[in-house]
Amino acid sequence: MATYSVPSRVREGAATPITDLDRYREAWAHAERDPNGFWLEVARERLRWRKEPTRGLDGDFDSIMDGPLSWFGDGTLNVCENCVDRHAAAHGDRVAILWEGDDPSETRTLTYRELHREVQKAANALRELGLKKGERAIIYMGMVPEAAIAMLACARIGAIHSVVFGGFSAEALRDRVRDCGAELVITQDWGLRGGKKIPLKSVVDEAVTGEPGVKKVLVYRRTGDEVGWDEDRDVWWHDAVGSASETHEAPALEAEHPLFILYTSGSTGRPKGVVHTSGGYLTYVSYTHATVFDLRPDDVYACVADVGWITGHSYIVYGPLANGATTLMFESIPTHPSPARYWDLVARHRVTIFYTAPTALRALAAQGNEHVLAHDRSSLRVLGTVGEPINPEAWEWYFGVVGEGRCNVVDTWWQTETGGIAISPIAPATPTKPGSATHPLPGILPSLRTPEGKLVRGPGQGLLCLDHPWPGQARTVWGDHERFVSTYFAHVPGVYFTGDGCRRDEDGYYWITGRVDDVLNVSGHRMGTAEFESALVAVEEVAEAAVVGYPHPVKGQGVYAYVVPQPGETIDEAKLTAACRTSIGAHARLDRVQVVPGLPKTRSGKVMRRILRKIAEGAGDELGDISTLADPSVVDKIKAGAILEG
Ligand code: WT7
């Protein structure tokens, strides 16, 4: 069956499903030759517009410093209406959200009709609480359907949501509340994950106390356990949403109206509030979700990420719902109550498309195949990975053991900033090579560059850049467009710099090699070395700290901290761990800590991270020339004390 209905006027156009390599080449060439024509066709075909756009792209990378790009600038639409109302009308009984709780016996389903009712009530409740178009709401929740409902309700009224992953600390949450100027925080009493209770409301209390900007805190009751309560500020979801009217007229919003802000780590400073807008983003996630995964009407699609990350935004909520699909929300973790959880989930819900991170596959493969083999996986058709490079062994395990050698594996490369999948196989069309993200999707024009910005042609290695705008890309950094420009467009003027290194082989296949900046990727979680370092140097006994990543067999990267004590002080490792947890969150763990007498620095005082990285990965004998260091002897002292096993 076709992925979506194709009216006659576009039978051979941009919206035709890509089922083979020729069709892929054709679509890619079309988007390269005529990006506006290609994307306007996709946008009109896939979305319901209140006012159909006639304009494609306005602006370009060369003039990005003058202001954000715009796609479909004269169009208007409502994102929530696109994700819910039109499907409720066309197939209201289809399951929109299939939810499985931390305890596998706890499940819920919301049909499109039910979801429609819930988002209308939630939208009315948000309006009642005073939230208006353009104002910001922070969503700090676990994986419950109400998190998606909250996102959609914000989108419906034109409020800008910023979902903060439920593992972030109160300090990190407060930073985000302040940075975006949130009026409202939406949370739940407690979260439930892997059998553990997470005190979400209490973290919110700590974060927003003394923050005058936050007028209301809306609290969904998940576990019913005790929470603190501020009568003036706190409102129960079941009261506010429960009593709200069931009809809400979705307003038409400009295509470039901001949809959400999502904070993500960079190589320097505090996390950036990446801004995504409405029409272009929704066009892009709808198109890529349908195309890459070969979406069919009866699919049961399961992406087991968290809505706190971009994967959850684009491929649990907005992409699948824009496509009228059944999307699974999973509250738990892959090893609860046993390492068979994912495959049990697949069997019970007859999942057809499954999307996860390589780190989970590596962890599960290590637990033995019997956990997989004990469950029926015959429903599976497409297997996706995202978040980090997948090593060929993990790829083969996924393909051979999980997928019984008969499913398409799609290794999808993208970023918070790209909004959606950018380099990836298209399930039915692209011949794969284990470990390669294969080819750019239509509209994505990758290039490899030397550090000086020179083009690498043909096979070779370089910095991965994207040379032409695409509708799903981030428009700016919240409140700081200059930072947006200097982060992504200063390395190589005129193109978008991804921060990743990449190799292109003789067949034109792309192999992402990982970050080339000071961003860590630990179990698919993106964290900045600078965030760790600022947490560490705030510890009284610490004089200086440098944090680098090193290859870790399961997590992809581990976190290696070099710490210089204050004169005469000793370092308590537990205190360092606590500092990172307090400043960033529970997921910010230090894998290795080494107390060192000093850091290798140039004569101008710059820390030579290259050297620290080499030592951390156990390659301290390949340091090359270190004569430019202010004090080369420090290197031998670090090497002598290095912790070698990762
Ligand atoms: C960074 C972006 C994309 C959603 C989840 C992560 C790395 C992502 C792949 C892949 C190799 C990958 C890159 C990228 N990455 N997918 N398939 N192969 N590397 O989003 O937190 O913004 O992180 O994740 O290094 O720059 P994010």
Cα 435 to ligand 1 centre (Å) = 14
Q: 643 falls in which pLDDT band (50, 70, 90)?
A: confident
- In sequence order, what are the beta bridge partners of 411? 385
Tell me how many domains the chain contains: 1
Whether pLDDT at 499 is above 60: yes
Structure tokens that stand for 306 in this block? 């968290």
pLDDT in the model for residue 8? 41
Lowest mean pLDDT among 31-35, 365-369, 440-444, 602-606: 602-606
With a cut of 70, say whether residue 9 has pLDDT above it: no
Which mutation among 317, 398, 415, 523 tests ligand 1's pocket best, with the greatest number of atoms within 8 A of CB?
415
- Is a pLDDT exceeding 80 seen at residue 112? yes
In this prediction, residues 197-215 reach a mean pLDDT of 97
Q: Is pLDDT at 4 greater than 50 in this prediction?
A: no
Q: What mean pLDDT is predicted for residues 39-50?
A: 98
In the chain, % of residues over pLDDT 90: 94
Ligand 1 centroid to residue 258 C-alpha, Å? 23
For the CA of 525, the nearest atom of ligand 1: 21
User: What is the pLDDT at residue 336?
Assistant: 98
Best mutation site among 414, 416, 519, 587 for ligand 1 pocket (most ligand atoms within 8 Å of CB): 414
User: Of the candidates 511, 420, 521, which has an alpha carbon nearest to the alpha carbon of residue 472?
Assistant: 420
Residue 551 lies in a domain: yes
Strand pairing partners for 329?
99
pLDDT higher than 70, residue 109: yes
Q: Give the separation between CA 580 and CA 364, rounded to whole angstroms.
A: 27
Distance CA 503, CA 512 (A): 6
Given the CA of residue 314, which atom of ligand 1 is nearest to it?
A: 4
Residue range 263-298, pLDDT digits in tens: 999 988 899 999 999 999 999 999 999 999 999 999
Q: Which of 400, 388, 424, 405 is nearest to 557 (CA)?
A: 388
Q: Hey, is 135 helix, strand or coil?
A: coil
- Distance from the alpha carbon of residue 419 to the mean position of ligand 1, in angstroms: 11
> To which residue do tokens 């699909």 refer?
325
pLDDT grade, residue 645 (50/70/90)?
A: low
pLDDT in tens, 360-410: 999 999 999 999 999 999 999 999 999 999 999 999 999 999 999 999 999
Q: Is the dihedral of CA 559, 560, 564, 565 positive or negative?
A: positive
Would residue 525 count as lying in a domain? Answer: yes
User: pLDDT digits over 547-600, tens only?
Assistant: 999 999 999 999 999 999 999 999 999 999 999 999 999 999 999 999 999 999
Which of 356, 441, 477, 526 is the best mutation target for the ligand 1 pocket, counting ligand atoms within 8 Å of the beta carbon and taking the most? 526
Report the Cα 323 to chain-centroid distance in Å.
Answer: 19
Q: How many of the other CB atoms lie within 10 Å of CB of 640?
A: 9
Å from CA of 240 to ligand 1 middle:
38
Residue 445 falls within a domain, yes or no? no
Distance 525 CA to ligand 1 centre (A): 9
Nearest CA to ligand 1 atom 24: 387
pLDDT given for residue 624 in this prediction:
85
Please tell me the residue having the least CA distance from ligand 1 atom 11: 389
pLDDT of residue 476: 98
How many A from CA of 360 to the centre of ligand 1? Answer: 15
Residue 588 sits at φ, ψ, to 5 deg, of: -95, 75
Widest CA span in the chain: 78
Amino acid, res. 34: D
Crossing angle of helices 633-641 and 609-616, rounded to 10°: 30
In a domain, 632, yes or no: yes
Decide the pairing of beta strands 556-565 and 592-595: parallel
Confidence of residue 16 (pLDDT cuts 50, 70, 90): confident
Residues 270-304, buried b or exposed e (16+ Cβ, 10 A)? Answer: bbbbbbbbbbbbbbbbbbbbbbbbbbbeebbbbbb
Which range of residues forms the domain containing residue 574? 519-640
Whether the per-residue pLDDT at 239 is higher than 50: the answer is yes
d(CA 78, CA 86): 11
Let me know if residue 101 belongs to a domain: no
Cα(421) to centroid(ligand 1), Å? 10
Residues in contact with ligand 1 by the CB-under-6-Å rule are: 264, 309-311, 386-389, 411-416, 437, 498-500, 512, 514-515, 521, 526
Tell me the C-alpha to C-alpha distance, in Å, between residue 251 and each of 80, 82, 83, 297. 10, 12, 14, 28
Q: 286 in helix, strand or coil?
A: helix
Here the CATH number for the domain that contains residue 627 is: 3.30.300.30
Q: Kindly report the protein residue whose alpha carbon is nearest to atom 14 of ligand 1.
A: 415
Q: What is the rounded distance in angstroms from the CA atom of residue 189 to the CA atom of residue 201? A: 5
Instruction: Please name which of 79, 641, 7 lies closest in space to residue 322, comparing C-alpha atoms.
Output: 79
118, 203, 284, 471, 504 from 511: Cα distances, Å: 43, 40, 23, 24, 6
Q: Angle at Cα 352 formed by Cα 346 and Cα 357, nearest 5°?
A: 70
Tokens of 40: 């306007």
Q: State residue 605's pLDDT score.
A: 92
For residues 530 and 533, give the distance between their C-alpha atoms in angstroms, rounded to a whole number. 5
**pTM for this model (two decimals):** 0.96
pLDDT in tens, 129-144: 999 999 999 999 999 9
Residue 176 lies in a domain: no
- Containing 272, the helix (H) or strand (E) segment is strand 272-277
**Cα 590 to Cα 546: distance, rounded to the nearest angstrom:** 12
Give the strand pairing for 57-58 and 70-71: antiparallel
Domain-located, residue 368: no
> Percentage of the chain with pLDDT > 70?
98
Cis peptide preceding 428, ω within 30 of 0 = no
Mutate to test the pocket of ligand 1, among 164, 521, 531 (most ligand atoms within 8 A of CB): 521
Residue nearest to atom 21 of ligand 1 (CA): 526
| CA 308 to ligand 1 centroid distance, Å | 15
**Locate tokens 């004090």: which residue?**
631
Q: Looking at ligand 1, which residue's alpha carbon is closest to its atom 5? A: 387
- Domain assignment present for residue 625? The answer is yes
603 burial (CB, 10 Å; 0-12 / 13-18 / 19+) is exposed
Question: What is the 486 CA–ligand 1 centroid distance (Å)?
Answer: 20
> Residue 520: beta bridge partners?
527
